[in-house]
Amino acid sequence: MTQPIDLHYWPTPNGWKVTIALHEMDLPYNLHLVNIGKGEQFRPEFLAIAPNNRMPAIVDPDGPDGKPISIFESGAILQYLARKTGKFGGPTERDRIAVDQWLMWQMGGVGPMAGQAHHFLKYAPSMDPPNDLPYAKERYRNETGRLYRVLDTQLGKNEFVAGDFFSIADMAIWPWASLWEGQQQTLEDKPNMKRWLDTIAARPGVQAGRNVAAEVRDRKPDPDEQKESQKILFGQKG
């Protein structure tokens, strides 16, 4: 019997990648919430498995050779889980190369650019003091839009990102792309991306993974709590 994986998690797009994978792959797991707004990612016990103090991280008690292994970085976790289960990594070697390409595209492009778009469009203007920076807002909004046009073009050729099969590349990109409205993007000129977003969102495993600990993400903090969280999250600690 497969031993449960320990998942250290907070409901962010990078966290959703892994909860979606765990549900899609039917892997049991124990959930350990790490409240990044309270700085719990800096605790020594978490840094021991995730030295970059970012969500998510896993500890698999049934790792290679039957020995426990800890893994940080969401893309590395997805690759590991795909190899472990033989699922969603691509059915052929050519397919696996395509999956890896689009996974790296997300890790190096969509994640960082959309994340910065969220920061400068939503969070920075509400900070104390406000940081409303038109250049930064335009820079990251435009680059995110460019990347989504690349995605739309690719999805005009394939049902899913890497081909005609659902993969960890889709699991990696969808959590960020699903937040397109907060990144001030439009789907009016991206019909293929819209079709793909709806297709992925309809999968039961994606819905279950996306909803893990949704209640803590949806809770509205009081103003003092929000200010303290901003100090922790946006470069004033660590």
> Which one of 21-25, 35-39, 217-221 scores highest in mean pLDDT?
21-25
- What is residue 54's three-state secondary structure? coil
Question: What mean pLDDT comes out for the span 191-200?
Answer: 98
**Does residue 237 carry a pLDDT above 70?**
no
Q: What percent of the chain has pLDDT over 90?
A: 85
pLDDT in tens, 35-72: 998 999 999 999 999 999 999 999 999 999 999 999 99
Domains of the chain: 5-87 (3.40.30.10), 93-202 (1.20.1050.10)
What band does 234 get if pLDDT is binned at 50, 70 and 90?
A: low
For the stretch 136-153, pLDDT in tens is 999 999 999 999 999 999
Buried b (16+ CB within 10 A) or exposed e, 40-76: bbeeeebeeebeebbbbbbbbeebeeeeeeebbbbbe
CA dihedral 185, 57, 80, 169 (to 10 degrees): 0
pLDDT band, very low/low/confident/very high, at 1 (cuts 50, 70, 90): low
Kindly indicate the confidence band of residue 189, based on its pLDDT and cuts at 50, 70 and 90: very high
pTM of the model: 0.91
